[in-house]
Structure 1
Amino acid sequence: MNILQNIHAFDVQTFYWCMARKHRAKLTQIGRAISFSADGPMYALVAALVWLAGFETLVCVLAFGFLIERAVYFILKRGFKRHRPADALDDFSSFIIPSDQFSFPSGHTSGAFFIAFCLSEWFPSLNMMLYFWAANVGLSRIFLGVHFPTDTVIGALLGSACAAVAIGVLV
């Protein structure tokens, strides 16, 4: 248990450091747009565009991989039941209303890294842009006050792992 307490203490310290940034208001404003770009309906739009472009195998990878990712995500979310910063910290309110109660792992970050990994396999020239976007999705979730840093780190690992599994199985 001591290691979990140490991780949480580091997480809280890092979270407060992020919240104390000089340009936090601007980061929060930008974070809303970046976070919105990683909402679920955007992934359906990406899949539709990829399908229309004739990349049927990629669409199958996206569908299969998201099924795995969402299943593992919900198991972890309900298993750990980690409170969001607004519920775990005194005198803190997040800048947006999260869609669910618990914070671990970050679903937005997981989905973003899943998409970045999959699309990078088919379109390697977009690699840097996709991962830059995915990393900023994770950062936006912290700056919006709905996730601790480790929530986003594990979300990134979860999304990447699920993409690797889906590609490994279907390609």
Structure 2
Amino acid sequence: MRSLQALHSLDTLAFHWFQAYRNMHSGVAYFSRCVSRLGDGFAYAIAGLLLAVFEPNNGSLFLQTGLIVYLLELPLYLLLKNTIRRCRPSELAGVDALIQPSDKFSFPSGHSAAAFVFATLLVQFYPQLFFLAYSVAALIGLSRVMLGVHYPSDIVAGAALGVVCAEVVFQLLGVGV
């Protein structure tokens, strides 16, 4: 229990550092809002559909695999979030979230989980996109901290959830094996 308290203290300290950085740099809030919107899900659906239609080699398999991964990730994310029930950092005194989150709890970050699912899918099918895919996913996660709706550990947990779900589905389907 003591180690969980120490982790929470470290997490809160890191969260406050990011909030101070955001408050000192006026463009960070606007940039974070824009990047966060990339993680809302619409962009993933559009990209998957475009690949399925216009990329003859792997596009359809990419879309099918992605749908299966998200069918695994989403219920696990909801189960974890509603079992752990960690309050959002915006419930801390003096912390204002810059956006209204879609639900009450913060752990794990659904935006990060989805972003890392998508990044892992992209890298599996298009390895040359490694740096771009994981950089965008990391920025989506970071944007959620900057906006005041997640602790850094929420992002790490969401990222791990997304990558693990994708890798499990790749193994089950024999994709890339």
Q: Please tell me the TM-score bracket, short chain as reference.
A: over 0.9
**Equivalent residue number for residue 60 of structure 2:** 56
**Equivalent residue number for residue 36 of structure 1:** 37
- TM-score scaled by length of structure 1: 0.95
Cα distance, 1:140–1:78 mapped onto 2, change above 3 Å: same
- After TM superposition, the structure 1 = structure 2 runs for residues 16-95 of structure 1, keeping only pairs within 5 Å, are 16-21=16-21, 23-52=24-53, 53-54=55-56, 55-87=59-91, 89-95=92-98
**Equivalent residue number for residue 114 of structure 2:** 111
Output the aligned Cα RMSD: 1.1
| Letter in structure 1 aligned against 2:51 | V
Q: Which consecutive residues of structure 1, in runs of 5 or more, have no partner in the other structure?
A: none
Which sits farther off after the overlay, 91-100 or 38-47?
38-47
**Equivalent residue number for residue 6 of structure 2:** 6
Instruction: Give the Å deviation of 1:59.
Output: 1.3
1:139 matched to 2:132? The reply is no
CA distance in 1, matches of 2:24, 2:131: 25
CA distance in 1, matches of 2:71, 2:130: 23
Is the partner of 1:163 in helix, strand or coil? helix
Is the partner of 2:104 in helix, strand or coil? coil
Cα distance, 1:124–1:23 mapped onto 2, change above 3 Å: farther
Is the partner of 1:109 in helix, strand or coil? helix
Counterpart contact for 1:109–1:152, Cα < 8 Å: yes
Higher-RCO chain (CA-CA 8 Å, sequence separation at least 6)? 1
CA distance in 1, matches of 2:133, 2:33: 18
1:51-99 CA deviation, whole Å, 9 max, x = no partner?
A: 1123222111101100110011001000000000111x11211000001
The count of aligned residue pairs is 170
**Equivalent residue number for residue 96 of structure 1:** 99
Q: Which consecutive residues of structure 2, in runs of 5 or more, have no partner in the other structure?
A: none
**Equivalent residue number for residue 125 of structure 1:** 128
| Letter in structure 1 aligned against 2:127 | P
- TM-score scaled by length of structure 2: 0.92
Paired-residue identity, %: 38
